[in-house]
Amino acid sequence: MNISGEFCVKNFIRGAKAIIFFGSVHSNSKEQLDLILQEISNFNPELILVEGGFHFASFKSQEEAIESGGEMGYVSFLAKDKKINLESNDSPFSEDILFVEREYGRKVCFAYFFLRNISAAWTEEASLNNIKENSNWEGFEYSLDNLKRIVKLVLGEEYSLANDYSSYFNPTLNLNLFNKITLELNEFRDEFMLKKLKENLTKYNRIFIIKGVHHLTKNESKIRKLLEND
């Protein structure tokens, strides 16, 4: 089922095993949130796998969850409210950093994740601290001044908090190096996701997973094979 040509829901069923994959767009649109609630309520999953570390999130209300975390925050809130097992479908952020650092070096890695955080509405201070805590590169300058120098060096442009960098992290575009990195990082994250699904199919019969719609499009056949081999 494809809704509005944007987010997409796919059912994978074989015998007693069932996976619902909600391929989301990163927003808090009412249409998407309503469908998420409908799918979870009807499916009554034993496990929900959420993207982006939101399994750690703790929100005081549904409104706070949506405001702070969009559809991923909402799913996290629903899982905890309904007492459904909740885990991450994403590789730890520290492993993502290692992957990009290994392929492109620390400077590119620093700029990439800083701008990605900013495009997700993080503050500059929070973004710097987040990268520092998860990389801990000895002797590296985790500062806004260094970030500005690196962005100029890597992308050939001046950094501004007012800029919208979200298109730089769209794996279907080819605007600059960051689109390419996103595509490669997504493949790395997808490998983790598939391992997580395979592992949990031995424990649960009904799994609901939510991840960006591009992950669903690229991995549909692999998910079907997981069920066939289960």
Domain coordinates of the chain in residue numbers?
8-91+189-228, 93-185
* Side-chain half-sphere CA neighbours of 149 within 13 A: 7
Compute, in degrees rounded to 10, the torsion defined by CA atoms 79, 80, 84, 89. 60
Average pLDDT over residues 83-110: 97
Q: Which fold has domain 8-91+189-228?
A: Protein-Tyrosine Phosphatase; Chain A (3.90.190)
Q: Does the pLDDT value for residue 131 go beyond 80?
A: yes
Q: Does the pLDDT value for residue 1 go beyond 50?
A: no
Name every residue whose Cβ is closer than 8 Å to that of residue 225 and which is 6 or more positions away in sequence.
none
What's the CA gap between 141 and 133, in Å, rounded? 13
Range from 50-64, 112-126, 145-159 that averages highest in pLDDT: 145-159
Alpha helices (runs of H) in 30-176, residue ranges in sequence order: 30-43, 62-81, 93-104, 106-119, 124-135, 144-155
What percentage of the chain reaches a pLDDT higher than 70? 97
Average pLDDT over residues 115-137: 94
- pLDDT tens digits for 197-212? 999 999 999 999 999 9
Name every residue whose Cβ is closer than 8 Å to that of residue 126 and which is 6 or more positions away in sequence.
117
What percentage of the chain reaches a pLDDT higher than 90? 85
Q: In the 8-state DSSP scheme, what is residue 211?
A: E
Burial grade of 219 (CB within 10 A; 0-12, 13-18, 19 or more): buried
What's the CA gap between 63 and 108, in Å, rounded? 36
- pLDDT tens digits for 8-34? 999 999 999 999 999 998 888 999 999
Instruction: Give the H/E segment covering residue 220.
Output: helix 213-228
